[in-house]
Chains A and B, each alone.
Chain A
Amino acid sequence: MKILPGGVCEAGTTRVNKTGGWRTFKPVYDYDKCIKCKLCELLCPDSSINPRDDGFFEFDYEFCKGCGICANECPKDAITMVLEEK
Chain B
Amino acid sequence: MAPENKLDKSKMVVVEGSYAVAHAVKVCRPNVISAYPITPQTHIVEDLSQFMADGEIPNCEYINVESEFSALSALVGSSAAGARCYSATTSQGLELMHEVLFNVAGMRLPVMMTIANRAVSAPISIWNDHQDAISQRDTGWIQLYAENTQEISDMTAQAYKISEDKDILLPSMTCMDGFILSHVYEPVVLLEQDLTDEFLPTYEPDHVLDPKNPVSFGAFADPNYYTEFRYLQEQAMQKALKKIEDVANEFYDVYGRYYGGLIDEYRTDDADIIIMAMGSIVGTIKDVIDKLRDRNVKVGVLKVRSFRPFPVEAIKNAVKDAKVVVVLDKNISLGLNEGALFTETKSSLYNTDVRIPVVGYMIGHGGRDIKVDTIEKIIDEATEVMKTGIKIESQFTDVKEELL
B215 CB-CB contact with A under 8 Å = yes
Whether B222 contacts A17 by the Cβ 8 Å rule is yes
Can you list 17 pairs linking A and B with CB atoms under 8 Å apart? A1-B225, A3-B225, A3-B228, A3-B232, A4-B206, A4-B207, A5-B169, A6-B108, A7-B106, A7-B233, A8-B107, A8-B216, A9-B219, A10-B216, A13-B216, A13-B219, A13-B220
A42 CB-CB contact with B under 8 Å = no
A83 CB-CB contact with B under 8 Å = no
Instruction: Give chain A residues whose Cβ lies under 8 Å from the Cβ of B106.
Output: 7
CB distance from B63 to the nearest CB of A (A): 23
B214 CB-CB contact with A under 8 Å = yes
Residue in A3, A9, A10 with the greatest tally of chain B CB atoms within 10 Å: A9
> How far, in angstroms, from A85 to B78 measured CA to CA in the complex?
48
Indicate the size class of the contact surface on chain A: 10 to 19
Whether B216 contacts A7 by the Cβ 8 Å rule is no
Partner of A7, one of B166, B214, B222, B229: B229
Whether B216 contacts A5 by the Cβ 8 Å rule is no
User: Nearest 9 pairs between A and B by C-beta?
Assistant: A11-B214, A7-B108, A9-B216, A6-B169, A8-B207, A6-B108, A13-B219, A9-B219, A8-B215
> How far, in angstroms, from A18 to B217 measured CA to CA in the complex?
19
Whether A5 contacts B228 by the Cβ 8 Å rule is no
Whether A5 contacts B166 by the Cβ 8 Å rule is yes
Tell me the chain B residues, 98-112 only, with Cβ under 8 Å from chain A: 106-108
Query: When each residue 199-217 of chain B gets 1 if its CB lies under 8 Å from chain A and 0 otherwise, what string results?
Result: 0000001110000001111
Query: When each residue 233-260 of chain B gets 1 if its CB lies under 8 Å from chain A and 0 otherwise, what string results?
Result: 1000000000000000000000000000
Tell me the chain B residues, 107-127 only, with Cβ under 8 Å from chain A: 107-108
Instruction: Give chain B residues whose Cβ lies under 8 Å from the Cβ of A14.
Output: 220
Partner of B206, one of A5, A9, A10, A17: A5
CB distance from B237 to the nearest CB of A (A): 13
> How far, in angstroms, from A20 to B246 measured CA to CA in the complex?
49
CB nearest neighbor in A for B110: A6
CB nearest neighbor in A for B224: A16
